[in-house]
Amino acid sequence: MRHPKVYDRILITEQQLKKITTDMAQQLNAVYADTPDCLALVILEGAKYFANDLLAHLDFPLEVEQMKASSYLGGTQSTGTVQLEENEDLPQKIKGKNILIIDDIYDTGRTLAKLTDWAKDCGAADVKTCILLEKEIPHDEKITIDFLGTPVEDAFVIGYGLDYNNQYRDLPFIAELSDEYIDE
Ligand code: IMP
Ligand code: MG
């Protein structure tokens, strides 16, 4: 097993992640079966692994775009300022579409608040959120999560796309980052 001491506990196993993504895909397939002009907006870097697995199980027509959002400059504390890096032709692609934002985790909620506002400002016909994890904490920004994978306890988590200083995204499960590895 890789990275033996980086995590103390595995919170969500590989098998559980598989079930979460296939169950969520089924829900999405039912809800979006007759919806035209769908566009999935994958939020990088964290949602990449989750989105790949999820999108593979969707059976309705949709475009896929990606966008980079960041609020952590390394470390385990959000800076509080969310930066979106949009491709210049992205707003035009969002306009009039039914947008499904795919992200890894609802923590403070600032990223999702900024993203949903941004998509609406671009003229999206509809904006829904599809999120793998919701941290069980009081969120600074209240967001409607339309499709949620699973709640997760208040810990700094790594794996399945989630990183600490851009490492450990490759772990195939979600684990709690061990205190020994937090250097701040
Ligand atoms: P929020 O804006 O505080 O809700 O945080 C959103 C972003 O911060 C997520 O999309 C993640 O990329 C990152 N993040 C939040 N919590 C964690 C964590 O526990 N581990 C790794 N990344 C996290
Ligand atoms: Mg993120």
Average pLDDT over residues 147-166: 96
Contacts of 162 (CB under 8 A, 6+ apart): 46, 104, 105, 168, 169, 174
> How many whole angstroms from 139 Cα to the centroid of ligand 2?
15
Q: Band of the pLDDT at 33, cuts 50, 70, 90?
A: very high
Which comes out higher in pLDDT, residue 182 or 54? Answer: 54
Among 53, 103, 104, 107, which one carries the catalytic annotation?
107
Q: Is 146 one of the annotated active-site residues of the chain? A: no
Kindly tell me the burial class for residue 97, based on how many C-beta atoms sit within 10 Å of its own C-beta (0-12, 13-18, 19 or more): buried
Q: Band of the pLDDT at 30, cuts 50, 70, 90?
A: very high
Among 80-89, 130-139, 155-164, the range scoring the smallest mean pLDDT is 80-89
Average pLDDT over residues 24-48: 97
What's the rounded Cα separation, in Å, for the pair 22 and 108?
26
- Checking if the pLDDT of 11 tops 60, the result is yes
**What value, to the nearest 5°, has the Cα angle with vertex 169 and ends 158 and 82?**
75
| pTM, two decimal places | 0.95
Average pLDDT over residues 14-22: 98
| Ligand 1 site-directed mutation target among 6, 7, 43, 71, most atoms within 8 Å of CB | 71
Side-chain half-sphere exposure of 110, counting CA atoms within 13 A: 14
Average pLDDT over residues 137-161: 97
> Does residue 45 have a cis peptide bond before it, meaning omega lies within 30 degrees of 0?
yes
Residue 43's nearest CA partner among 129, 124, 122, 151 is 129
- Checking if the pLDDT of 142 tops 90, the result is yes
pLDDT at 105: 98
106 lines ligand 1 (CB under 6 A): yes
Residue 160's nearest CA partner among 171, 151, 152 is 171
Contacts of 18 (CB under 8 A, 6+ apart): 53
Taking only the tens place, the pLDDT of each residue in 38-86 is: 999 999 999 999 999 999 999 999 999 999 998 866 777 777 788 888 8
Contacts of 118 (CB under 8 A, 6+ apart): 84, 86
What's the rounded Cα separation, in Å, for the pair 139 and 111?
11
How many other CB atoms are found less than 10 A from the CB of residue 73?
A: 11
* Ligand 1 atom 16: residue of nearest CA: 107
